[in-house]
Chain A
Amino acid sequence: MPAHHRRRRRRFRGRSFPASLPRFVLVGNPNVGKSVIFNLLTRRYASVSNYPGTTVELASARTTLNRQPALIVDTPGVNSLIPMSEEEMVTRDILLLEDPRAIILVIDSKNLRRGLLIALQLAEMGLPFLIDLNMEDEAKSLGMKVNVSKLSELLGVKVVPTVSTHKKGIKDLTDLIPQSSHASYPISYRPEIEEGIAQLAPLIKSSRINKRAIALMLLAGDRSLIPWLSFQLSREAIEQIDNIRSRIEAKFHQPISSLINQQLLQVADEIIHKVQKEQKRERRNWQEVVGRLSLHPLWGIPILLFVLFLVYQFVGKFGAGTTATFMENVVFGKYINPWVTEGVKYLLPVKFIQELIVGEYGLVTMALTYSFAIILPIVTYFFLAFALLEDSGYLPRLSAMLNSPFKIIGLTGKAVLPLMLGLGCCTMATLSARILDSKKERILVTLLLALSIPCSAQMAVILALLAGISFKATLWWGGTIIAVLIGTSFASSRLLPGASPDFIMELPPIRRPQLSNILLKTGSRIMWYLKEAVPLFILGTLVLFVLDKFNVLSYLEKVASPVITQFLDLPSRATQAFIVGFLRRDYGVAGLYMLAKQGQLSGIQIVVSVTTLTLFVPCIANLFVMLKERGWKVTSLMLAFIIPVSLLIGGLLNFILRIFAVQF
C-alpha cells in the first residue's frame, strides 16, 4: 500500500479525542475570530496536535459548559465543507467522524455571504448548530445591519451577535449552545445534479452526516472520502459511485464543486437580501488606510522593507544575537554545562557514558545546548514575530507584495515565510514548508533551504569572518549565494514536473493584534518545536557521537581532503571544517575562522571556503527533517545535487577570483 494510503487509513480508525466527553466544534471561515472565541469558551491551556495522518494543527480543550464537562474543538478555517484543501478535509472529517454534540458556526458579520455558504452546508449535512455572528462592531462601522431574529427564523437555528475582541455576547453564546438545532433550508440543484444525488444516496451507508450531503461531496469529486467509504462498502459499490460521478460530471463543462458553490451562494444572496441592510458608507479608518498602503505598488515596498528589517532586528539581532549568546555562554556555558559535567563525572565513573552525556558530541553539552540555548530563543522570537504579523493581517499582504518576483523563480509569495524562517533555523523552516499549497513548491523550498540559506548561527560567524577582511568579500559571498539561489530555483522549477503553483490568497482586514492570542499561538508552536525538532537534534548528536567513536569522521576527512586541497586550493586542515559543518553549521565556519586567525588562509581562500561551506550539505538535524518530510528518495536526490554543485560553485568562484586576481 502506498504511504499516503496508509496515512489516510489511520485517519479513519477510531477517534482522536477522549471519547467520554461531549464535543462542541467551532467551525468557520478563516479570520473570523474563531480562536478568540475558543479561548473565551475554554479559558485554559489548549492542547495543540496534528490531526492523525495530516499536517493540520488542531486545538482542543476540556472545559465546563453550562456546568457540564465538555470538550471544545477549534477546527482550521474553511471556505466550504466540500473539501478543496487539507484544512477543509480535516474539518469535514471531524464533523463526519468525531460525533459532535453541537457545532458553533462563527461568521464574520461583514462576510455574511461566505458564512451562510457553510451554514447551508451544515443544514444539508443535518448537523445541529448555532450561528455566532462575530465582529458585529466592524460590520456596524461599515453601515451593515443584520436582522438577527429574521435570520434565525429563516434558517431555524439560534443566532447570537458577538464582538469577541471585547468579550461581548459570549455569555449569550454559551447559554444558547445547548439549544443548537438542525436547520431546515432545502436547496435544490440543477436536475442533473439532483439525478446524481438520487442515484448515489442508496449506495451510501448512514452516518452522522446526511446521505444527501455525502452524495454532493462525492459528486464534487472529493477523493478524500474514498478510504472512509472503502471501510463500509464493497469495491463494486465504489466503482459504481465513480461511474455515476463521471457520468454526471461529463454533462457539465464546469467542475461540479463550483456549480454547487454557485447554487449555495445564490441562495445565500437571497437570504442576505431578506435580512441585511447595507448603507454604502465609504468610511476609512486607520486599519483600512494601513491595509491599502501596505499593498500600494510604490509605498508598499518601503513598508515591506521596514517590516522585514524589524523582524530581522528582533529575531536575528535580539533573538539569535543577544538572547542566544547569553543562553549559550552564560546560562549553559557558565552554569548548566559545568554543573552537569561535574555531576555526571561524580555519579557515573564510566568514561564512555560521560562522553555520551557531556563530551564533545554529548547529549547535554551539544544536543541540549544547541536546541535550547541557540535554536529555542531564535524560534521563540520568530514565532512571536510571525504571530504578530499573522494576527495583524500583514502576513498575507507581504506574500501578495512579493508574489511577482517570486513567480519568476517558480515560487509563490507564500514561500517567503519558510525562506525567512530559514535565516533563523533551516530545520524549523523545512518543517514549516508544510504551509505551502503544492508539493512542487514544498520540494523547491526544501532544496533552497538545504542549499543556499545560511541559518542565523552560521550567518553570525560568517559575517564576523568576512567583515574581518573587507566589505568586498561579503559582497562576493552574498552575490554568489543569491545567484545560486535564484539560478537553482529558476532552473529546477522548470525541470520539476507539475504545473506552476497557483496564487489565490484572501487578505483579511488589518486588525489590532490581541496579546493573549499571540502568546497562546506562540506557546503552542514552541511546544510543537520541542516535540518535532528537539528529538532530531538529539538523534543527530547520537549519530555524530557514534561516527566519532568509530573514527568514521577522521576517515571521511582523509577521503575528502584531496577534493578540498586540489579543487578548491584550500589547506588540508580546512577539510575538518566541512565535516564538522554537517553536524553544526556554525562550528564548520568557526573552524575556518580559527584557520584564518592563524593566518593560514588568504583572502581568496576565505571567500571560497565560506561560500562552499554555506552551500554545502545542511546540518544533520535538517537532514533528518528532510527525510521525514520529503522521504528518502527526494532527499538523496537533493544531496546528490547539493554536494557536487556546492563544490563546483566553489571551484568556479576560486577560478574566477584567481583569473581576475581579485584582491580582498
Chain B
Amino acid sequence: MEDRETEEVFEALWTLQENGTPPTIENLSRIAHLENPSEVIIKLVENGTLKEKEGKVFFTPESEKKAAEIIRRHRLAEVLLHEVLAIESPQMESNACEFEHVLSPQVTDSVCTFLGHPPYCPHGKPIPRGSCCSKFQVKLKPLVTRLSDFQPGDEGKIRYIATRVHPRMGRLSSLGVVPGSMVKLRQKRPSFIVEIGHTIIAIDQDIASNIFVQKTS
C-alpha cells in the first residue's frame, strides 16, 4: 500500500477525472485533504508515479490501478456503514475516509462479498470492481447474505440484524430471531416464511432483507 498522502492525492485525482473537472494542480490541491498538497503532487510527478502535461496531472497505468483500489475501499466502506450499520452521513464519509487507508486487500474482498458485490456507493457513484467480483460470476458465493437473497430450503445462521426500527427488532428477538439463531427459509412467496427451531414465522420482504445470514447448507 502507498503512504497516506499519496493515497489522498490519488483519491482527489480520481474524483476530478470522474466529475470531468480539469485535473490541474490547483484543482487537486483544493480537494485533497492535505496540508501542503502541491508539494506532494510535485514529488509524485518527479518520481514517476504521476504524469504531468500542460499543467494537468494524469495517472500512469500502475498508479491508476492503485487509485481504483483506494476508491473501491472507500466506497465499499460507505456501503457497509450506510446499509448494514445504518450510519448516516457525515459520520459515514469521515469513517469511510479512515477505512480506505487501513483495509487490506483480503478484508476488502470479504467486505465486498459480504455486501453482495454492490456496483454503486450510497451517493450513486460506481465502485471499481475487484478480483472477487469477477470470481463471483463463476463460483464464489458471498459468505453472508441477506435472508431475502436466500433460496427456499436454504439454511443458515443469523449473523446480524440491521434495522433502524427498534420495536421491530424487539419483536423479532422475542420470537427467537436474534444473531446466532439458525434459520431455514421455507418459501419467499406470497410472504417470507422462515423456521427458527419449531417456530414458523411469516415476515415482509423488507424485514427479510434486514436479516444477514451465513449459509450452512
Residues of A within 8 A of B (CB): 79-80, 82, 84-85, 108, 110-111, 113-114, 117, 142, 220-221, 253-255, 257-258, 261-262, 265-266, 295-297, 300, 396, 399-404, 407, 413, 499, 502-509
Contacts and interface: CB of A to CB of B under 8 A. Distances in A.
A261 B204 contact: no
Q: Kindly list the 3 A-B residue pairs having the minimum CB-CB distance in the complex, ordered from nearest.
A: A79-B174, A261-B173, A80-B174
Contacts of B85: 253
A504 B207 contact: yes
B201 A506 contact: yes
A281 to B, nearest CB: 12
Given A400-B190, A502-B168, A507-B193, 14 more contacts: A220-B170, A253-B85, A257-B170, A257-B173, A262-B178, A266-B180, A295-B190, A296-B187, A297-B187, A297-B190, A400-B193, A403-B202, A503-B202, A504-B207
- Interface bin, chain B: 20 to 34
22 contacts: A84-B167, A110-B197, A111-B199, A220-B170, A253-B85, A261-B173, A265-B180, A266-B180, A295-B193, A400-B190, A401-B190, A401-B191, A404-B189, A404-B190, A502-B204, A503-B191, A503-B204, A504-B204, A505-B202, A506-B201, A507-B193, A507-B201
B176 interface: yes
A85 B193 CA distance: 22
Contacts of A502: 165, 168, 171, 204, 207
B173 A262 contact: yes
A35 B16 CA distance: 69
Interface string B173-217: 111101111000011011101000111111110010000000000
B172 interface: yes
B169 A297 contact: no
B166 interface: yes
Contacts of A503: 191, 202-204, 207
Point out which of B170, B175, B190 has the most chain A C-beta atoms below 10 A from its C-beta. B170
B191 A504 contact: no
Contact of B191 (A400, A499, A509): A400
A113 B197 CA distance: 8
Contacts of A85: 171
Nearest to A108: B198
Given A403-B190, A507-B193, A117 B207 contact: no
A262 B179 contact: yes
A640 B186 CA distance: 46
Contacts of A262: 173, 178-180
B154 to A, nearest CB: 17
A265 B203 contact: no
A610 B85 CA distance: 55
A259 to B, nearest CB: 8
A84 B168 CA distance: 9
Given A111-B199, A142-B198, A403-B202, A255 B176 contact: no
B202 A396 contact: yes
Given A407-B204, A503-B204, A258 B173 contact: yes
B181 A265 contact: yes
Per DSSP, are chain B's interface residues mostly helix, strand or loop, or mixed?
mixed
Contacts of B203: 503-505
A20 B202 CA distance: 44
Contacts of A108: 198
Contacts of B180: 262, 265-266
Contacts of B201: 504-507
A31 B134 CA distance: 49
A205 to B, nearest CB: 26
Contact of B174 (A84, A254, A396, A400): A84
Contacts of B200: 506-509
A82 B169 CA distance: 13
A224 B168 CA distance: 17
A255 B198 contact: no
Point out which of A142, A504, A505 has the most chain B C-beta atoms below 10 A from its C-beta. A504
B199 A506 contact: yes
Given A401-B190, A403-B204, A110 B198 contact: yes
Interface string B6-27: 0000000000000000000000
A507 B173 contact: no
Contacts of B181: 265
Contacts of B193: 295, 400, 507
Contacts of B174: 79-80, 82, 84, 117, 261
Nearest to B168: A502
A117 B172 CA distance: 14
A184 B171 CA distance: 26
Interface in B97-135: none
Contacts of B173: 80, 257-258, 261-262, 265
B175 A403 contact: no
B168 A504 contact: yes
A186 B186 CA distance: 36
B178 A261 contact: yes
Point out which of B168, B204, B207 has the most chain A C-beta atoms below 10 A from its C-beta. B204
Contacts of B167: 84
B166 to A, nearest CB: 4
B213 to A, nearest CB: 16
Contacts of A82: 170, 174
A503 B161 CA distance: 16
Contact of B169 (A254, A300, A402, A404): A254
Contacts of B199: 111, 114, 506
Nearest to B193: A295
A103 B173 CA distance: 24
B134 to A, nearest CB: 33
Nearest to B169: A258
Contacts of A504: 168, 171-172, 175, 201-204, 207
A77 to B, nearest CB: 11
B170 A84 contact: yes
Nearest to B164: A499
A79 B175 contact: yes
Nearest to A297: B189
B179 to A, nearest CB: 7
B170 A111 contact: no
A300 B190 CA distance: 9
Given A113-B197, A403-B190, A258 B178 contact: yes
Nearest to A266: B180
Contacts of A403: 190-191, 202, 204
